[in-house]
């Protein structure tokens, strides 16, 4: 594990073998062809983490519809994860169905989930990996702030739309203040193309063109 290099956006997710509540997993191999989210939490049996696990589970079906799996992680043993998951089911009537990695600290350190200024537990890290095992986004939240899971779901949707349609996604999409649920066309690479496209798409200028998702881009 010490040989692993901290991955950057655009790089392949490193190959790791882990023990989870659902058995051993090899990432990203076992999820090949799928998107997945690897997220760390500081510790089992803590209030903020409990709210996060419930929030993720409540949205699990929505993630699966996007061909996206969830994988949790903390520096706790499997028996602790199992007891915590049991507690959540017995007391909150929510069954956690995605695997949780039991880490001795090696995976968390290799992936940059432990920050010196925030103690020995993991921060709330989020790694979004696409169906080609490429790391597409990294988020860090401090221990004291729970994550926005609707935003993480929006990120998966936005990245998939961007990939499929070769477009860019505006702020707060699909409720952008300027163009609503429309998407941004990449700027032209020369003057002729710039003015050609400006006459065929909605725009604020030649460098700010946008369109409906289903509208085909003209050559």
* Nearest alpha carbon to residue 133 among 63, 31, 60: 31
Indicate the pLDDT class of residue 22, thresholds 50, 70 and 90. Answer: very high
One DSSP character per residue, 114-158 reads --GGG-SS--EEEEEE-TTSBEEEEEEE-TTS---HHHHHHHHHH
Q: Which residues are catalytic?
A: 49
Q: Spell out the domain ranges in the chain.
A: 16-147, 166-219
- Please state the φ and ψ torsions of residue 6, each to the nearest 5 degrees: -55, 120
> Measured between alpha carbons, how far is 19 from 6 in angstroms, rounded to an integer?
20
Do 16-147 and 166-219 have matching folds?
no
The predicted-structure confidence for 58-109, as pLDDT tens digits, reads as follows 999 999 999 999 999 988 899 999 999 999 999 999 999 999 999 888 888 8
Indicate the pLDDT class of residue 214, thresholds 50, 70 and 90. Answer: confident
Any idea how long the chain is?
Answer: 219
Q: Which two tokens stand for residue 188?
A: 């032209």
Q: pLDDT averaged over the chain?
A: 91
In the DSSP assignment, the letter for residue 31 is G
pTM: 0.91
Q: What is the fold of 16-147?
A: Glutaredoxin (3.40.30)
Q: 166-219 — its CATH code? A: 3.30.1020.10
Q: Which residues are within 8 A (CB) of 105 and not within 5 positions of it... i.e. 6 or more apart?
A: 75, 114
> Measured between alpha carbons, how far is 195 from 14 in angstroms, rounded to an integer?
43
Q: Which residues are within 8 A (CB) of 18 and not within 5 positions of it... i.e. 6 or more apart?
A: 24, 25, 26, 27, 73, 101, 102, 103, 107
């Amino acid at each position: 594990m010490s040989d692993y290099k901290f991955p950057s956006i655009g790089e392949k997710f490193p190959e790791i073998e882990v023990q989870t509540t659902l058995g051993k997993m090899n990432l990203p191999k076992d999820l090949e062809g799928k998107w997945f989210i690897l997220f760390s939490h500081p510790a089992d049996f803590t209030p903020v983490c409990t709210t996060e696990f419930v929030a993720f589970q409540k949205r699990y079906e929505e993630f699966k519809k996007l061909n996206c799996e969830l994988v949790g992680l903390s520096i706790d043993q499997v028996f602790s994860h199992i007891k915590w998951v049991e507690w959540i089911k017995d007391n909150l009537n929510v069954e956690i169905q995605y695997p949780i990695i039991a880490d001795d600290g090696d995976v968390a350190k290799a992936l940059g989930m432990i920050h010196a200024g925030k103690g020995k537990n993991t921060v709330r890290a989020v790694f979004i990996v696409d169906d080609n095992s490429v790391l597409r986004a990294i988020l860090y939240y401090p221990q004291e702030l729970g994550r926005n899971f609707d935003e993480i779901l929006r990120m998966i949707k936005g990245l998939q739309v961007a990939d499929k349609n070769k477009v860019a996604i505006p702020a707060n999409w699909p409720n952008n203040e300027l163009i609503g649920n429309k998407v941004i066309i990449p700027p032209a690479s020369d003057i002729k193309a710039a003015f050609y496209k400006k006459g065929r798409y909605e725009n604020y200028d030649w460098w700010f063109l946008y369109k409906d998702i289903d509208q085909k881009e003209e050559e």
